[in-house]
Chain A
């Protein structure tokens, strides 16, 4: 990109950011150059108590966390949005005009050998079985398409958004019996994903936070992490990942029991999800045995600097073997 164009783009970007900050409300993101779009909800900044005394040891101590405002995907990312990133040839069929050079240049996943829908359905179903690295590269592709910085939620952002202002085990209360109104999980899913948005949203308008697919967060999984979240560290806490395993998964899936879906429940990625990959090095992109993992987008109201954005997207994958 030449410097003039880059400057012009960043000015447009700033102006857009400024107006967004004035009016922090939900919006529809068009994926530029395509007919595709997705919905984002405004999540107010604030404080909340993270963790649960009723949960496992890794959910404790319950501690105060303060978060800046952000936007979060109303739904889990669907195959409809994800596949143009996965398949370059398919992307051209979904594009209005040529695929821009900066979009074309984004590294794409290796094509999965297996059927990554696992027979559960594709249209409006959550994209799944992607690795943490894959999920972040999808955000990078979206950034190239839209100019807007999207990323994975931090673990704290995820729990905060799932609680939607509540302190109970689920946003709707403590009564597991009501979970079926909000979530696809072991008891009602018939062992498969369902189209997003069919169940009731939480008070902040987010659908399928519980169940359907479990969702990636950015954080490294550390069982004792909460004990270290004090003072300044309680502002926008994040356990920055520097190892391939494990990262935190939240929300539980169609294949999980009710207790794994609780707002505070923490799950961790597992190398065994790649055991069916017979190659060395194993794929940076796919978990052939994790058809229950998907992703949801976050956009901070105040975006980081271009340098920080590049650093977020351009971390080299950690070889898996």
Chain B
């Protein structure tokens, strides 16, 4: 295909997406007009300008595609400004975000999305369903970080938008970057070709020392405090079983090529019991039961001073496997003889690869990526894991997916109260198995 054919094809591709979106092509500047060089520019918007959002924008702008960052949105002005400064310093004229295209507050996302062809959705996960729904409605291609939701209503919203994105042929890549990492791809290909037989069991782990804490500052409203210290509040984070461990749970579902039918588990707060730590647990141990009767064990915890591991193991009828984000991918036969080992050195950065592949497809006018549905289902696996550990009940997939249990505040504003509020001592109500109702 020569350059002009490619450009025409791409224009049709974007146009088709926009037409399905409702007729009005909001992003006309990208592919409309004559054949000047600016026609090739793909405009991107960054929604969520924290360290990860900035990282995602760095990766997008480091691809070979001809991109320009044209809009940014964040709830906090300080986060947006520091992100903008780093991006502008590094990428110079690829960053064209004057003041009137910087949107601060809870509702700036829709305006920023409208200005772009491709959007990066990288806020804390609680907002993702709302942002993804809007991006698809507006006919935009999407890169979005995991998790894609924190509760059942959020998952339903993402699944509906995922379906619409497919109809509109919008590429959607989700930052479950192990799906874009060579050791996982190579090993999973072999597993799915039967190298170790049927998978009958497995264990997936995210046991580490925990993450950052943002202390409450004087004069903060409760809303601002929770937004700053978001990791510890479920309406924003979903608990670490969702926020981090979804990576490993997603591998379980990938290896099984299925999603669990029911989940049970146990968890608690052992280390993080103080008022700086909101409501989330610091440990969860969960069993994922699949339709074929196989059970995958999942464990995640944030403890200091303990033995840690972040990886996945699975046992099949003909052998076993070990996988980790450190580029490990090993297969053994049932006698323990190694039959495959992915080299741990010289691998590409999967966080870069996911953007390289997404923007290559968009540049070529191809519809290649529809990650949203499977990502939503892996996130939901983690969410029902949380439902199981908080309630102490056996959670059935189909029942839980219908639950009307949104964690989202009724109103998003700095003076509005989130649903979960601290008591007089600054402590939050903690879920208690046997008492807490989740669905």
Residues of A participating in the B interface, judged by any CB pair closer than 8 Å: 83, 86-87, 89-90, 93-94, 110-119, 122, 275-282, 288-289, 291, 321
Question: Is A111 a contact partner of B211 (Cβ separation < 8 A)?
Answer: yes
Measured CB to CB, the nearest residue on chain B to A277 is B55
How distant is the Cα of A278 from the Cα of B62 in the complex, in angstroms? 13
Least Cβ distance of B11 to chain A in Å?
32
Interface CB pairs A-B, < 8 A, 10: A86-B304, A115-B308, A116-B308, A117-B308, A119-B324, A278-B56, A278-B59, A278-B177, A280-B54, A282-B55
Given contacts A113-B211, A114-B208, contact A276 B304 (CB under 8 A): no
* Contact among A86, A111, A277 with B212 in the assembled complex (CB-CB below 8 Å): A111
Question: Can you name 5 extra interface pairs (CB under 8 A) apart from A122-B307, A281-B86, A282-B55?
Answer: A90-B304, A110-B212, A112-B208, A278-B52, A321-B86
Which of A86, A111, A115, A119 is the most central at the interface, judged by chain B CB atoms within 10 Å of its CB? A115
How distant is the Cα of A83 from the Cα of B208 in the complex, in angstroms? 13
Q: Which residues on A sit within 8 Å (CB–CB) of B175?
A: 278
Question: Is B308 a contact partner of A289 (Cβ separation < 8 A)?
Answer: no
Q: Which residues on A sit within 8 Å (CB–CB) of B325?
A: 114, 276
Question: Is B212 a contact partner of A281 (Cβ separation < 8 A)?
Answer: no
* Contact among B58, B244, B326 with A291 in the assembled complex (CB-CB below 8 Å): B326
From 375 to 411 in chain B, residues with beta carbon under 8 angstroms from any chain A beta carbon are none
* Contact among B90, B210, B271, B352 with A275 in the assembled complex (CB-CB below 8 Å): B352
Q: Which residues on B sit within 8 Å (CB–CB) of A117?
A: 307-309
How distant is the Cα of A275 from the Cα of B311 in the complex, in angstroms? 18
Q: Which 9 residue pairs spanning A and B have beta carbons closest together?
A: A115-B308, A87-B304, A279-B51, A275-B349, A90-B304, A280-B54, A90-B305, A280-B55, A278-B351
How distant is the Cα of A204 from the Cα of B425 in the complex, in angstroms? 58
How distant is the Cα of A114 from the Cα of B55 in the complex, in angstroms? 18
* Contact among B90, B208, B305 with A321 in the assembled complex (CB-CB below 8 Å): B90
Measured CB to CB, the nearest residue on chain B to A116 is B308
Q: Which residues on A sit within 8 Å (CB–CB) of B90?
A: 321
Given contacts A89-B271, A280-B58, A281-B86, contact A111 B208 (CB under 8 A): yes
Q: Which residues on B sit within 8 Å (CB–CB) of A291?
A: 326
Least Cβ distance of A50 to chain B in Å?
29
Question: Is A111 a contact partner of B326 (Cβ separation < 8 A)?
Answer: no
**B183 is an interface residue with CB less than 8 A from chain A:** no
Q: Which residues on A sit within 8 Å (CB–CB) of B59?
A: 278
Least Cβ distance of B208 to chain A in Å?
6
**B209 is an interface residue with CB less than 8 A from chain A:** yes
Question: Is A115 a contact partner of B309 (Cβ separation < 8 A)?
Answer: yes
From 171 to 228 in chain B, residues with beta carbon under 8 angstroms from any chain A beta carbon are 175, 177, 207-212
Q: Which residues on B sit within 8 Å (CB–CB) of A278?
A: 52, 55-56, 59, 175, 177, 351
Least Cβ distance of A112 to chain B in Å?
7
Measured CB to CB, the nearest residue on chain A to B207 is A115
Question: Is B305 a contact partner of A113 (Cβ separation < 8 A)?
Answer: no
Least Cβ distance of A165 to chain B in Å?
35
From 401 to 431 in chain B, residues with beta carbon under 8 angstroms from any chain A beta carbon are none
Q: Which residues on A sit within 8 Å (CB–CB) of B164?
A: none
Question: Is B326 a contact partner of A118 (Cβ separation < 8 A)?
Answer: yes
How distant is the Cα of A281 from the Cα of B177 in the complex, in angstroms? 19
Q: Which residues on B sit within 8 Å (CB–CB) of A276?
A: 325, 349-351
Least Cβ distance of A254 to chain B in Å?
12
How distant is the Cα of A90 from the Cα of B54 in the complex, in angstroms? 32
Question: Is B349 a contact partner of A279 (Cβ separation < 8 A)?
Answer: no
Measured CB to CB, the nearest residue on chain A to B211 is A111
**B361 is an interface residue with CB less than 8 A from chain A:** no
Question: Is B326 a contact partner of A86 (Cβ separation < 8 A)?
Answer: no
Q: Which residues on A sit within 8 Å (CB–CB) of B177?
A: 278
Question: Is A119 a contact partner of B56 (Cβ separation < 8 A)?
Answer: no
How distant is the Cα of A279 from the Cα of B79 in the complex, in angstroms? 13
Q: Which residues on A sit within 8 Å (CB–CB) of B58?
A: 280, 321
Least Cβ distance of A52 to chain B in Å?
25
Question: Is B52 a contact partner of A279 (Cβ separation < 8 A)?
Answer: yes
**B310 is an interface residue with CB less than 8 A from chain A:** yes
Question: Is B349 a contact partner of A113 (Cβ separation < 8 A)?
Answer: no
Least Cβ distance of A298 to chain B in Å?
27
